[in-house]
Structure 1
Amino acid sequence: MLSDNPIPIRLKQARTRAGISQKALGIKIGMDESSASGRMNHYEKGRHVPDVATLRKIAAELNVPLNFFFCEDELSAELACLIAKLDEKKKQELIELLSHRD
């Protein structure tokens, strides 16, 4: 189980999976080169929480859906990534499948 804020853990997890450094990620989303590493480190340590606009940029850069950062367990995080890759028709089929389960 994660702490009250799952964002730091999910951020580090997605960044590590993408094989990108804190500094490189920060620069890619528009942070100043001199502060990018420090700011990203603060986000991953939970000292600061990125605003939604920044989190959206990070999600796009790391190729994860925005809701990934809010998942409180590993299965939900994995599902969020898998569902995000589905087209609208497949998402609707999944909703119907899950809605009709007893």
Structure 2
Amino acid sequence: MRQTSKTISPTFGRRLRQARLRADLPQDRLGVLAGLEESSSSARISRYEGAVHEPPAKFAKQLARVLGVPVAFLYCDDDRLADIMLSYSSMSEVQRQELLNISKRLSDLNL
């Protein structure tokens, strides 16, 4: 039986690196904080950032938690939407509701 290779998107690696630098964490420290063994953490994070490998969804959630970003941010291929996700994640619940209300009003204008 022929094996099919999974295509790795560079988006995850780019977003991971962006979030890691934003958090001011070196690769090895991020890996350890997310649960990797210290001896392999830097290499594993480097492979994720370089789009050599993509982590399982469960580990991507751990990385996002450590980095303080929504996991969807790590997979978002639209730069503006990714920026909105980062802004949203740091807002209070009141601010989030206001953003949603504004978004709906803007969307209604386009109908």
TM-score (norm 1): 0.86
Deviation at 1:84, TM superposition (A): 1.5
Which one has a bigger Cα radius of gyration? 2
22, 28, 39: which one aligns with 1:23: 28
Structure 1's unaligned 5+ residue stretches are none
The alignment of Structure 1 onto Structure 2 pairs a total of residues equal to 100
Q: Which amino acid aligns with 1:50?
A: P
Distance in 1, matches of 2:33 and 2:50, equals: 20
Structure 2's unaligned 5+ residue stretches are 1-7
Deviation at 1:27, TM superposition (A): 0.8
Q: Which amino acid aligns with 1:82?
A: S
Distance in 2, matches of 1:78 and 1:32, equals: 31
Q: Would you identify which runs of 4 or more consecutive aligned residues in structure 1 move more than 6 Å?
A: none
Deviation at 1:43, TM superposition (A): 0.4
56, 60, 85: which one aligns with 1:55: 60
Q: In the alignment, is residue 81 of structure 1 matched against residue 86 of structure 2?
A: yes
Find the residue that maps to 1:6 and give its secondary structure: helix
Equivalent residue number for residue 99 of structure 2: 94
TM-score (norm 2): 0.80
Relative contact order, higher structure (CA 8 A, sep 6+)? 1
Distance in 1, matches of 2:33 and 2:90, equals: 22
Equivalent residue number for residue 3 of structure 2: none
32, 42, 64: which one aligns with 2:47: 42
